[in-house]
Amino acid sequence: MARTLFQKVWDAHTVRVLPNGQTQLYIGLHLVHEVTSPQAFAELRERGWPVRAPQRTFATIDHIVPTRAQARPFADAMAESMTEALERNCRDYGIKFFDLASGSQGIVHVIGPEMGLTQPGMTIACGDSHTSTHGAFGAIAFGIGTSQVRDVLASQCLALSPLKVRRIEVNGALRPGVYAKDVILTIIGRLGVNGGTGYAYEYAGEVFDRMTMDERMTVCNMSIEGGARVGYVNPDDTTIEFLRGRPYVPKGVAFDKAAAWWRGMASDPGAPYDDVIRLDGAEIAPTVTWGINPGQSVAVHAQLPRPDDSPSGDRAGLVEALDFMGFRAGQPIAGTKIDVAFIGSCTNGRLSDLREAAHVVAGHHVAKHVRALVVPGSQKVAIAAEKEGLDQIFRDAGFEWRGAGCSMCLAMNPDRLEGREVCASSSNRNFKGRQGSPTGRTLLMSPAMVAAAAISGEVVDIRSFPVAAPAAV
């Protein structure tokens, strides 16, 4: 019988069905970071349990790491003690730790794919919501809580209920100035932030077929913002070529064998779906969030919604968002003054994102009133960008060039908004307080749009922004 990739991966990793109806699912890869692991390791120690599969467990530091001064010990005692705890836990339990000295440190969802740890057909778990990123490779990747981190460390398994599968097909061609970020913001805007509850999202159609792996990661990363527990793209030639030669990927004949198996995990023609949604790629515009969740977005040339014209169910939410953001119903989003521009995060902190943004800023200068920073998603991204001279383009334009980390995406480090600042951000969440100030305001958009906003000092349409030079790539 024809099966979806989700069903194939689920079946291949099922250990048994538990008496409560959940499935005990084997986890192929467990990614660990400093924030959600200390308590889990502490519980293992208390019980005297070993880590079940240290060879399938990899760690990094990302959330709390400062991006300006990365020399140890960190100035922040809490950040230093969390880092020391992870070092100790990795040493004691035989876990590979991509620390700052490794040259491979970075945001957990950037380094997994970069190292070739993330592979098609896998089950992946990590104590972070945006683990859905890894679905770009045709993996089923779950964000989990601290108690589940403990479970995976101890047993390499999770108890989970199966998900329904919604196929989201986007066909046609994206127009110039429209990026993967705009595609996923449009999907979330259309289906709602809770629209994916109980579902895995399978992204299919010409638009995703043409996307690079970086772009697919941007899309899958934000599946969780649409309520979907996981999101994935079926593995294809693009996936396989991305993985070829990466450190943890099989070599030679073993690679060819693996590639054949990976291809076989793609959804079969005629596989059954619980739901199918179709969008026209040509209708997607550069998109900006205006509110306090990623579903509250508009095309950059459009106006904010009017609560009185909206279905009664979401009226209160719209009023609350407009009040918090200090916006008027029906006002245009373009022209909104910004104070801060942030390019980075596991959504848009990869090399191709930095290239796109550098292409926009080249030959321009950041507006006087704007604080602008670029934070590479990993040390490897930083090194590659510096080799291409992107750091210099950003510096010349007035951006700060930082070390790798989560930075202002979550502000569990010194990079934070102050007071009511408005931030044009390439990250994934615009919740109240997300960027460190309880009253700070976040506008999510593509890295190219953040770059254009930094230069203009306000939200502008990338389609009419004067780009100085042809794209380097």
Footprint of ligand SF4 (CB under 6 A): 62-63, 107-109, 128, 130, 345-346, 406, 409-410, 427-428
| Residue partners of 155: CB distance under 8 A and separation at least 6 | 52
Q: Which is nearer to ligand SF4, 291 or 376 (CB)?
A: 376
Distances in Å between the alpha carbon of 281 and those of 146, 178, 189, 273? 38, 9, 14, 21
d(CA 410, CA 402): 16
User: Least CB distance from residue 217 to ligand SF4, whole Å?
Assistant: 11
Q: State both tokens at 209.
A: 């077929």
User: Least CB distance from residue 376 to ligand SF4, whole Å?
Assistant: 12
DSSP 191: H
| Residue 308 DSSP SS3 | helix
| Residue 57 DSSP SS3 | strand
Q: Which is nearer to ligand SF4, 4 or 446 (CB)?
A: 446
Type and span of the H or E element at 203: strand 199-204
Q: Which is nearer to ligand SF4, 289 or 428 (CB)?
A: 428
Question: Buried (b) or exposed (e) across 314-331, using 16+ Cβ within 10 A?
Answer: eeebbeebbeebebeeee
User: Least CB distance from residue 344 to ligand SF4, whole Å?
Assistant: 7
User: Least CB distance from residue 251 to ligand SF4, whole Å?
Assistant: 30
Q: Alpha helix locations (H) across 377-427?
A: 379-388, 390-396
Closest CA to 158 of 171, 149, 166: 149
CB distance 355 to 469 below 8 Å: no
User: Least CB distance from residue 442 to ligand SF4, whole Å?
Assistant: 12
Residue carrying structure tokens 């992870």: 86
d(CA 46, CA 18): 26
User: Least CB distance from residue 426 to ligand SF4, whole Å?
Assistant: 10
d(CA 242, CA 235): 11
Q: Which is nearer to ligand SF4, 336 or 428 (CB)?
A: 428
User: Least CB distance from residue 463 to ligand SF4, whole Å?
Assistant: 27
User: Least CB distance from residue 295 to ligand SF4, whole Å?
Assistant: 17
Q: Which is nearer to ligand SF4, 165 or 410 (CB)?
A: 410
User: Least CB distance from residue 471 to ligand SF4, whole Å?
Assistant: 25
Q: Which is nearer to ligand SF4, 296 or 413 (CB)?
A: 413
Residue carrying structure tokens 């986007």: 170
Q: Which is nearer to ligand SF4, 37 or 345 (CB)?
A: 345
Q: Which is nearer to ligand SF4, 8 or 216 (CB)?
A: 216
- Phi then psi for residue 428, to 5 deg, are -120, -10
SS3 of 126-158: the string is ECCHHHHHHHHHCCEEEECCHHHHHHHHHHCEE
d(CA 404, CA 110): 10
| Residue partners of 386: CB distance under 8 A and separation at least 6 | none
User: Where does 321-463 show beta strands of DSSP type E?
Assistant: 340-343, 371-374, 400-401, 422-425, 441-444
Q: Which is nearer to ligand SF4, 23 or 60 (CB)?
A: 60
User: Least CB distance from residue 66 to ligand SF4, whole Å?
Assistant: 14
Q: Which is nearer to ligand SF4, 230 or 271 (CB)?
A: 230
